């Protein structure tokens, strides 16, 4: 730790990126295999490996109390010094000057101390331990020992520079190091493998997210000269998510590696029932009656930190899996897409909602691709994702082996103007709704929808609509325009049937907008605008 502190000082003292990298690379090269991971963790401001659940839980107050006791300075001076210096690690180094035993501190011993701090339950135990440390070790070492506790070294050494230093120390390219990190999410483990010339053998770990493979955008089928060379899937409008599963435990990570496990208890419960271990890549979507709902329907769920399993869930969801990265300890990243897909199908063979597999299609011509695109849109999806036959899973890369072709799905806020009874189990409730947009101070109808709400919502709406009834025309109940819905659709067409002159194609209800009043809904100009944009797009 003493040497690490000296190197960190050197890094802080220069503005040159290259020089910083050289300092660190030289230091790393001389370290033993045991010390290399420790040094890299500490240099990235982490006491433990990523994914390690231990937390230090040491606050500023504990650090301050410990340094007051260890240094003998009065509390006021200590407080002032910390405020003036602006960094508690640096302040502690200064305050302990001439007041420590100047004992050496190894990286292994520092690691042991962090583990002990994490284990200590009460603040008092933590403060005792810190006080002992502060009295024992060199001031410069303490400065960095504390900076690791606060989580940031503040020496202008970004993660990317550390990666380059690892590459330089091992005599390999930064690109190869980065690729390995995409797979494991762990710099320290990658550094060891790089040193041993084993970067290629590095595999993903369960419960530590792998970087997602990304898709390159295209604007039309014309950009795909060889349609037969691709596997085609719908492009779902949801949350990209990685599911990690092992022996009855499951976790969900979204992009940026945020863990979203707690927001989707019903998915986790289903994932936990899968046999063996696996890492799946896919999309969490709002899902009702066999169809995907637009993204806005998911936002309600994300807004909640934790969703108790016993609550009726307002937005049902599904996980649509489209790739498999690890299966029973076997790394599949370098397997061709067809093999990964076959394993995925075997894994989910006995599944069903809410765990689904993205259907895959093939094309032999650009006309086929255009047809598939239209069909995907008719299913309420954004467009297509094309995946090159024979391709590997390129973690963290937008290398062109996946292509995305999309048009954002529009939604409109509308008001219900009339309602009818449905059929079958919905024959006793008002489940078919005619809806309108604003046109000046009037409302003009633009469509009719009968899917998308839960039975509970339909029951509640039926009651509300009966109260709002103003007239009856055969089976149709005309109502005062008060209930606002958000509807999704696949396009707008001219229509002689509605007074507005337009009708939405394939409208579906996304949600009941209880938060909106009828004067806040979309207007006819917006509908016209969507129609014109779409007409322009189809001429291209």
- Tell me if 29 contacts ligand AMP by CB under 6 A: no
Min separation Cβ 175 and ligand AMP, Å:
22
Nearest to 506 by CA among 379, 394, 371, 397: 379
What distance in Å separates the CA atoms of residue 200 and residue 334, rounded to the nearest whole number? 10
In 29-147, beta strands by DSSP E: none
List the x/- string, 406-425, binding to ligand AMP by CB under 6 A. x-------------------
Min separation Cβ 424 and ligand AMP, Å:
32
- Tell me if 240 contacts ligand AMP by CB under 6 A: yes
Find the farthest-apart pair of alpha carbons in the chain and give their distance in angstroms, rounded. Answer: 94
List the x/- string, 56-95, binding to ligand AMP by CB under 6 A. ----------------------------------------
Structure tokens at 496: 């002689």
SS3 state of residue 503? strand
Min separation Cβ 320 and ligand AMP, Å:
7
- Comparing CB distances to ligand AMP, the nearer of 287 and 322 is 322
Piece in contact with ligand AMP (CB under 6 A), picked from 138-146, 229-237, 339-347, 420-428 = 229-237
Nearest to 36 by CA among 4, 6, 8: 4
- Tell me if 394 contacts ligand AMP by CB under 6 A: no
- Comparing CB distances to ligand AMP, the nearer of 246 and 337 is 337
- 318: number of CA atoms within 13 Å, CB side? 21
SS3 state of residue 536? helix
- Tell me if 233 contacts ligand AMP by CB under 6 A: yes
What distance in Å separates the CA atoms of residue 254 and residue 283, rounded to the nearest whole number? 9
Structure tokens at 64: 């301050």
Min separation Cβ 322 and ligand AMP, Å:
5
Do residues 202 and 190 touch, judged by C-beta distance below 8 A? yes
In 407-483, beta strands by DSSP E: 411-421, 430-439, 442-449, 469-473, 476-479
Q: Which of residues 366-385 bind ligand AMP (CB under 6 A)?
A: 385
- Tell me if 295 contacts ligand AMP by CB under 6 A: no
- Comparing CB distances to ligand AMP, the nearer of 191 and 386 is 386
Nearest to 47 by CA among 4, 96, 12: 4
- Comparing CB distances to ligand AMP, the nearer of 401 and 484 is 401
Nearest to 243 by CA among 272, 217, 221: 272
Instruction: Please pick, from the candidates 358, 412, 477, 509, the single residue that binds ligand AMP as defined by CB under 6 A.
Output: 358
Piece in contact with ligand AMP (CB under 6 A), picked from 74-82, 230-238, 340-348, 493-501 = 230-238
What distance in Å separates the CA atoms of residue 149 and residue 332, rounded to the nearest whole number? 37
Instruction: Please pick, from the candidates 215, 270, 292, 436, the single residue that binds ligand AMP as defined by CB under 6 A.
Output: 215
Min separation Cβ 386 and ligand AMP, Å:
9
Structure tokens at 417: 């103007």
DSSP code at position 151: T
Could you count the other beta carbons within 10 Å of the beta carbon of residue 309? 9
- Tell me if 236 contacts ligand AMP by CB under 6 A: yes
Min separation Cβ 290 and ligand AMP, Å:
17
- Comparing CB distances to ligand AMP, the nearer of 131 and 406 is 406
**Applying CB under 6 A, what is the total number of residues that bind ligand AMP?**
12
Could you count the other beta carbons within 10 Å of the beta carbon of residue 57? 12
- Tell me if 404 contacts ligand AMP by CB under 6 A: yes
What distance in Å separates the CA atoms of residue 228 and residue 148, rounded to the nearest whole number? 53
Instruction: Please pick, from the candidates 183, 195, 235, 438, the single residue that binds ligand AMP as defined by CB under 6 A.
Output: 235
Min separation Cβ 398 and ligand AMP, Å:
9
Supply the Cα-derived Rg of the chain in whole angstroms. Answer: 30
Q: Are strands 476-479 and 469-473 parallel, antiparallel or unpaired?
A: antiparallel
Instruction: Please pick, from the candidates 163, 283, 394, 486, the single residue that binds ligand AMP as defined by CB under 6 A.
Output: 283
Piece in contact with ligand AMP (CB under 6 A), picked from 95-103, 170-178, 233-241, 461-469 = 233-241
- Comparing CB distances to ligand AMP, the nearer of 394 and 522 is 394
- The yes-or-no answer on residue 99 being catalytic is no
Instruction: Please pick, from the candidates 27, 114, 322, 502, the single residue that binds ligand AMP as defined by CB under 6 A.
Output: 322
Min separation Cβ 404 and ligand AMP, Å:
5
- Comparing CB distances to ligand AMP, the nearer of 192 and 297 is 297
Do residues 238 and 295 touch, judged by C-beta distance below 8 A? yes
Cα distances (Å, whole numbers) of residue 262 to 206, 256, 302, 308, 309: 18, 16, 10, 8, 10
- Comparing CB distances to ligand AMP, the nearer of 260 and 527 is 260
Query: Which residue reads 């390129």 in tokens?
Result: 394
SS3 state of residue 453? coil
Catalytic residue among 20, 143, 235, 406: 235
What distance in Å separates the CA atoms of residue 446 and residue 147, rounded to the nearest whole number? 61
- Which residues of the shown chain bind ligand AMP in the complex (CB under 6 A)? 212, 215, 233, 235-236, 240, 283, 322, 358, 385, 404, 406
Active-site residue set: 235
């Amino acid at each position: 730790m003493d040497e690490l502190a000296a190197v960190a000082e050197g890094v802080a003292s220069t503005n040159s990126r290259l020089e910083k990298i050289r300092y660190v690379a030289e230091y790393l090269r001389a370290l033993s295999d045991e010390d290399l991971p420790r040094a890299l963790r500490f240099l990235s401001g982490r006491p433990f490996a990523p994914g390690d659940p231990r937390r230090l839980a040491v606050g500023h107050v504990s650090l301050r109390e410990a340094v007051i006791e260890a240094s003998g300075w009065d509390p006021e001076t200590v407080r002032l010094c910390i405020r003036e210096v602006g960094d508690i690690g640096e302040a502690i180094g200064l305050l302990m000057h001439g007041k420590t035993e100047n004992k050496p501190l190894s990286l292994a011993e520092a690691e042991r101390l962090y583990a002990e701090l994490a284990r200590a339950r009460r603040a008092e135990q933590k403060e005792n331990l810190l006080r002992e440390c502060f009295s024992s070790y060199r001031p410069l070492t303490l400065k960095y020992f504390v900076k690791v506790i606060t989580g940031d070294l503040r020496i202008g050494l970004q993660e990317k520079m550390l990666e380059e230093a690892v590459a330089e120390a091992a005599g390999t390219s930064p690109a190869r190091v980065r690729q390995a990190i995409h797979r494991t999410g762990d710099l320290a483990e990658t550094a060891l493998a790089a040193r041993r010339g084993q970067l290629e053998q590095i595999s993903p770990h369960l419960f530590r997210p792998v970087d997602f493979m990304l898709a390159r955008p295209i604007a039309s089928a014309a950009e795909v000269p060889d349609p037969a060379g691709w596997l085609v899937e719908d492009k779902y409008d949801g949350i990209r998510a990685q599911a990690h599963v092992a022996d009855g435990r499951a976790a969900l990570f979204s992009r940026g590696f945020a863990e979203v496990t707690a927001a989707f208890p019903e998915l986790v419960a289903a994932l936990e029932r899968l046999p063996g271990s696996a890492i799946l890549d896919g999309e969490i979507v709002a899902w009702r009656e066999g169809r995907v709902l637009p993204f806005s329907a998911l936002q309600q769920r994300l807004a909640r930190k934790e969703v108790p399993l016993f609550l009726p869930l307002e937005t049902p969801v599904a996980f649509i899996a489209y790739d498999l990265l690890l299966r029973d300890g076997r790394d599949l990243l370098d397997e061709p897409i067809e093999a990964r897909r076959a394993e995925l199908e075997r894994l989910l063979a006995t599944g069903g909602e809410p765990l689904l597999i993205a259907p895959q299609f093939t094309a032999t011509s650009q006309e086929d691709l255009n047809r598939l695109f239209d069909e995907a849109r008719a299913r309420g999806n954004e467009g297509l994702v094309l995946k090159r036959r024979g391709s590997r899973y390129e973690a963290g890369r937008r290398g062109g082996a996946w292509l995305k072709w999309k048009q954002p799905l529009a939604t409109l806020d509308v008001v219900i103007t009339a309602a009818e009874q449905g059929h079958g189990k919905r024959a006793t409730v008002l489940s078919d709704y005619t809806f309108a947009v604003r046109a000046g101070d009037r409302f003009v109808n633009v469509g009719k929808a009968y899917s998308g709400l839960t039975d509970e919502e339909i029951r509640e709406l039926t009651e509300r609509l009966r109260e709002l009834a103003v007239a009856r025309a055969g089976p149709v109940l005309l109502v005062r325009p008060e209930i606002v819905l958000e509807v999704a659709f696949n396009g707008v067409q001219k229509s002689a049937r509605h007074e507005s002159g337009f009708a939405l194609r394939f409208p579906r209800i996304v949600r009941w907008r209880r938060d909106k009043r009828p004067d806040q809904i979309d207007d006819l100009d917006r509908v016209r605008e969507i129609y014109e944009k779409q007409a322009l797009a189809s001429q291209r």
